Amino acid sequence: MASIAILGYGVVGTGTAELINKNKERFKKITGEELKLSNILVRNIEKHKQKKNSKILTDNFEHILKSPVDIIVEVMGGINPAYKYVKKALASKKHVVTANKDLMAEHGKELLDIAHENGVTLNFEASVGGGIPILKPLMECLTGNEIVSIKAILNGTTNFILSKMYSENMSYEDALKIAQDLGFAEANPDSDVLGYDAARKLSILSTIAYDKKVNWKDIHIEGITNIDADDFKYAKANGYNIKLLAISRKEENGIFASVQPVIVDKNSELSKIENELNAIVIKGDAVGDVVFSGKGAGMFPTASAVFGDIADIIQNRNKRSIQFNSENASIQTLYNYKSNWLIRIKTADKINAMCNLTGNFKNCYIFKNELNPKDEVVAIIKEETENDLNCKLQELKASSHTEYIKKFLHIK
């Protein structure tokens, strides 16, 4: 028998409890193992008294730790007290399953080490891509590959907002409002719209993929708060869509890692990942591109991943968790492959800006006047590295006529 405690009884905790109870019989039939939901830790028992499983609620973590529970599922979210609890659980030789990307991005290395020292497993499939199987396939199925690159839509909130802006020509503000009304965005959406959530997930994925520590704070992070309806107008006019992509790539001298809005071909597979869906494209040197997509959040999709992690522990009791390398990757923040760029220059001197662009760039297509206002030059620049692009735009950027320059990388 496997005895399970859940820390947290919010959306994911509720879904996990339900999946455990629902799957008991089938799981026993297939594996011969009995599942028992022993405890659910909540802060305020009164608040949850009306819910299912009210008899096993507790507000005492130490009580769970001392009980004969085998697996502790942490679905509280946030760093505190999750960090303290998971550490104690592992040190007490309890297996742990967590859905907590903040925790794993911040303290994954330490927690996996503690799991290792104590001969227990720490699984965290739900921390990236929600219900999409991605960490186990990456760690186990693709282990014969050197991972070359990752490009992914890892945040459902921002993808929902950008999808609305694309398909319904909405403003950022209106799209965010709808996302909040539908429960896809929180009242304080900062961690999503500023790109932090995606960066944490990218850091977990990249740390595993390249076997070097990719600190999320070292990643170049740009959110979607500056994207406006005109960006979409210009992107569309060229057959592009705009997506917030998390990208990383093995380079000679380190790892390029970035979360930023990019333009993608409107018929590309990533453009077709709509609304709250997530997608991860992993390129391995042997397998080529492999794409995983599905629901990156939500009660049952997340609980599906948590349940898979629980089953993994029960069926492979002696398995060792992966360890994160302690060696920090040297993070590159410029995209130094020859790429195409969409550029918007807000300027009081269009003529000068256009001359500057055509003088500096061999392949530069300036948008016709009717599309853009009289104080803006919009262009597609082809085959430039980010470094060269920045250098060649420096003079324009420094000009007193230039209000701002906005640029979008094109990702294939």
Which residues are documented as binding site for L-homoserine?
A: 186
Residue 214 or 279 having the CB closest to a copy of itself: 279
Distance (Å, whole) CA 163 – CA 159? 6
Residue 109 a catalytic site member: no
Tokens of 293: 């997509």
Cα separation, 178 vs 183, whole angstroms: 9
Among 8, 13, 108, 131, binds a copy of itself (CB under 8 A): 131
| Residue 397 main-chain phi, psi, to 5 deg | -65, -35
For residues 53 to 92, the per-residue mask of contacts with a copy of itself, x marking binding by CB under 8 A and - elsewhere, is: ----------------------------------------
**Is residue 254 packed enough to be buried (19+ CB in 10 Å), middle (13-18) or exposed (0-12)?**
middle
Q: Where are the alpha helices (DSSP H) in 264-349?
A: 299-315
Cα–Cα distance between 6 and 286 in angstroms, integer? 39
Cα–Cα dist 134/209, whole Å: 11
Q: What is the largest CA-CA distance in the chain?
A: 76
Q: Which residues from 202-261 bind a copy of itself, rule CB under 8 A?
A: 211
Judged by CB under 8 A, which of 36, 275, 294, 388 binds a copy of itself?
A: 294
Q: Does 289 bind a copy of itself (CB under 8 A)?
A: yes
Report which residue type is found at 263: I
The residue assigned the tokens 């890692």 is 257
Only segment of 132-140, 344-352, 353-361, 362-370 that touches a copy of itself (CB under 8 A): 132-140
Range in contact with a copy of itself (rule: CB under 8 A) among 144-152, 155-163, 217-225, 231-239: 144-152
Binder of a copy of itself out of 2, 6, 7, 27 (CB under 8 A): 27
- The span from the CA of 206 to the CA of 198, in Å, is 12
Binding-residue pattern over the window 334 to 373 for a copy of itself, x denoting contact by CB under 8 A:
----------------------------------------
Of 94 and 295, nearer to a copy of itself (C-beta) is: 295
Shortest Å, Cβ 27 to a copy of itself: 8
21 binds a copy of itself (CB under 8 A): no
Q: Are 84 and 103 in contact (CB under 8 A)?
A: no
Kindly state whether residue 301 participates in binding a copy of itself, applying the rule CB under 8 A.
yes
Instruction: Label residues 13-38 b or e (16+ Cβ within 10 Å = b).
Output: bbbbbbbbeeeeeebeeeeeeebebb
> Does residue number 307 form part of the binding site for a copy of itself (CB under 8 A)?
yes
Cα–Cα distances (Å) from 248 to 184, 206, 326, in that order, read: 26, 7, 19
* Residues forming the site for a copy of itself (CB under 8 A): 15, 19, 23, 26-27, 30, 125, 131-133, 136-137, 140-146, 211, 267, 269, 272, 279, 284-295, 300-301, 303-308, 311-312, 315-316, 318-320
* Residues annotated as part of the active site: 201
